[in-house]
Each structure stands twice: as structure tokens, then as C-alpha cells.
Structure 1
Amino acid sequence: MSKQKPTTTVISGAAAMPSTTTIINANNRAAVVRSRPMRRVLQNFRLLWLDANLDETKDDFKKSLRRLRRVVASIETFKDAQECIDFLHAITNEKVFMIVSGSLGRQIIADIEGWPQLESVYVFCRNQAINEQWANKIYKVKGVYTKIKPICKALQLDRENCDRAMISVTFNGLDPLFMYTQLLKEALLDIEDDDKKSIKDLADYCREQDDIPED
């Protein structure tokens, strides 16, 4: 497993607070998940993107993140597989979608596919045919892709299906506040990207109701 210094990118519109968590990782060893922003996000999902060759300085990477953020608000990137596994293991109250490179996916996905917090996996690689040989055997792998656009489409569909399942459970007698949060989230996600006035009006209203910082 690579020992290089991990790189993490978190994208979200909410305020952040640092935290450090000690967990028992998949190998039953104590591990510390390094300080990461703990963000208040409207969605109950996270997207993890694991690829040892991610280059955050490239325009293609930045464009891909912008596309993905339209689907999932909270995005974290990893270059180190073990750090990603430890981070995933510590998540208990959110569903996780994962984009993973072919080489790292082949190493780790079979071992973590049974984790309940892991909802779906999307393999992002250059050689689709080779990686389909192992990926097609794993239920949570939704596909093998060579471009980010079809990943976004598949992610959008899976997120909507997961949303509906959560709302259905809520209507069956669980926390009503959670139900209304889901409905509000759906309304917000329907706002067009260029509808800046609507977003500003909502932000102003929310600040009047709670102590939410300007930035």
C-alpha cells in the first residue's frame, strides 16, 4: 500500500470545524483519521474519490469536481487507499458513493462492498475491458467508466433512488424532521445553477432563523 502523504479535497458550501477521530480500521488496528472538516451539509451522502494519480492542479480535475458537485455536495478525494478505507469505516450516519481507479478498486472493493454505509461504486479508469473482468462480479459496482460525464449521470440516478428509499422509510414512522429535511433538499437541488437570486434569498432567510456565518 502506498505510503505517500495523502491529499484530500473537500467541497461543500457549509461551515467547517476540525476534528480528529480514533477508530479501529478494517485490519483491527487502531488508526487516527486525520483532522478533516466536519461540515454541515444538506445532503445525507458523501462522495469519496480514490485515485493514487489524482492531480488537483489540472483543469480536467477541477471541471470533474464541478460536475460531481452538482450531484453530491460533499466530496472528498484520496490518494492513499488505507486512509480512504479508514475514513469510510468511521462513517455511520451517511450513505457513501465511491469513485475509484481500476488498480485500487481491484485491491480493495471486494473487502469493503459489504459495509452498509457504502451505497455504490463507480470505477473510473482508462482500460474499461480489463477492469470489467473483476468489477462485474461485485454487486455494488455500478459500472466501469472512462469519462466523468456518464459517472455523473449514473450517480444522479443512484442518488435519487437512495433519496426515495430514505423518504419512504421516514413516511413509515421515523423522524419527521428528517423527512422535511429530505423534501427541502430535493427542492434546493431543483434550483437551476444560474438562479443566484433564489439561493441568496434562501441563504438570507436561513441566517435570520439561525446563527449561520456569512461565509
Structure 2
Amino acid sequence: MDVRGAQVGDNNTQINHYGGPPDESAWLLVDAERILGADHPDTLDTRRNLAHWRGLAGDPDAAVAGLDAVLADYVRVLGPDHPDTMQVRENLVHWRPEGLEALIADRTRVLGADHPHTVRLLQ
């Protein structure tokens, strides 16, 4: 395992730490897929983070496309009500607000109206 591979598990920190355009940090995804496999939660998180970061870097269409693609895999691997799946949907709402009402309804159903993740959507 190389140095990069040893660090794949902490991909949120890496994306912020290594900086630069998202495409320059795409090696994180390559290493995650190679070491952990395409369906590992950390690999899915890396895909989600890179997609969201593309939007923050000025390409909202790439963010939506990437988040749509990884959302399907989160649903398949973790299920529609898993907190990580809901987080991808929240990231999508950032770029495509029309999904907000459905996300609020699902978060309320799963977590309750007073849960901080539900309340955050209402602010």
C-alpha cells in the first residue's frame, strides 16, 4: 500500500488538505476504488465529496451529474433511509433545490421533526 492508499479512509480531510481543482484530487477516488472497492462507503463518500467540490469550484452541472450518479449507488448499497444517502440528497438540494420538500418529508419520517438534520433543512 502506498502513502496515498494509507490515507484514503480520511477522504474528507484529504480533499480539503490537498486543495486545488477537484480533478487534481481525483487520485483519491482511484485509490479508494483500488483499495476499498467501488461499493465501500468510504469510496462512495469520496465520490460524493468530489462531486460536491466540483460544484463549489464553479461547475454546478458536474456536481449534479456526479451526485445523481453516486446517489443511485448509495441507495443500492446502503438503502434510501441511510443517513449517508440522505446527506447525498442534501448535497443535491444545494445544487438543485426542487428536491428539498421530498427530503424534508423523508428526514421527518426517518429522524423526526425535531432532529437537528431535519431542522437544518427548514432554516
CA radius of gyration, larger in = 1
* Same fold by TM-score greater than 0.5: no
Q: Which has the higher helix share?
A: 2
Normalized against structure 1, the TM-score is what? 0.24
Q: Which has the higher strand share?
A: 1
Normalized against structure 2, the TM-score is what? 0.35
**Looking at both structures, which has the greater relative contact order when contacts are Cα pairs under 8 Å and sequence separation is at least 6?**
1
